[in-house]
Homo-oligomer: A and B are copies of this chain.
Amino acid sequence: MAKAENSDGEKLVKAFHGAHHAHGRCVGRALSRADALCRQRGARLTTMRRRVLELIWDSHKAVKAYDLLDRLSDGEKPVRPPTVYRALEFLMAHGLVHRVDSLNAFVGCSGADADHNAQFLICQQCGDVSEMDGAAIGKAVARQAQLAGFTVRRQTVELHGECPRCTAS
C-alpha cells in the first residue's frame, strides 16, 4: 500500500484517493496488470471481459452487475445477465475483481498478487471502496480463529464507515 506524508509530516497509509486524482492512471495500471497477468497465464482477456473490467474501474465505487448490464447494452443489442456474470466470474477467478458481499457488488482489485486476503473499507457516505491488504488483520483474525480450533480458508472482511475525505468535510 502506498505511503504519503500529510501536512504534519506523519506517515499515513494512502488507501483512499482524492476527489480529483488522476484516475486514468488507476485504470491504466489495472488494465495493463490484467493484460500482463492474462498473457502470462494463457488466459484470454476478451473484448467483453475487458469492457467489463473497464466499466468496473470507471470509479472506485462498487458496481452492481445489473448496472454493468445496462451500461453494456444499447437498445438494439441488449446484453444478457449470463454474459456479465461470466465475465465477472472470469475476472474474479484471476483476481482482477472482487465481490463485495455486503453490497452485492463488484470492485476492481488493486492488490498486488492474485490470491490474497483482501479487506475492504467502504465509505457509507460517498460509496468509495478501498482495498487494504492488511496482513496484520488477516493474521489477527486467523490467530483468533485458531483459538477456537478453526482453520481459515477464506475471509470476508468488509468495514463500513467513513473515509478520510468524507470525515474531513
Q: Which residues in A have some Cβ–Cβ distance to B below 8 Å? A: 1, 12-16, 101-102, 119, 121, 123-124, 130, 132, 134, 136-137, 140-141, 144-145, 147-164, 167
Known contacts being A137-B140, A137-B141, A140-B140, is A152 close to B159, with CB within 8 Å?
yes
Closest 6 CB pairs of A and B: A149-B164, A15-B148, A140-B140, A153-B161, A156-B158, A101-B101
**In angstroms, how far is the closest chain B Cβ from the Cβ of A121?**
5
What residues of chain B lie closer than 8 Å to A132, measured between beta carbons?
A: 144-145, 148
* Contact for A12 among B16, B119, B147, B158, CB less than 8 A: B147
Known contacts being A101-B102, A102-B101, A158-B101, is A144 close to B153, with CB within 8 Å?
no
A144 touches B150 (CB 8 A): no
Chain B, Cβ-Cβ closest to A156:
B158
B151 touches A167 (CB 8 A): yes
Task: Report how far A124 CA is from B150 CA in the complex, Å.
Answer: 11
Task: Report how far A125 CA is from B157 CA in the complex, Å.
Answer: 21
B164 touches A150 (CB 8 A): yes
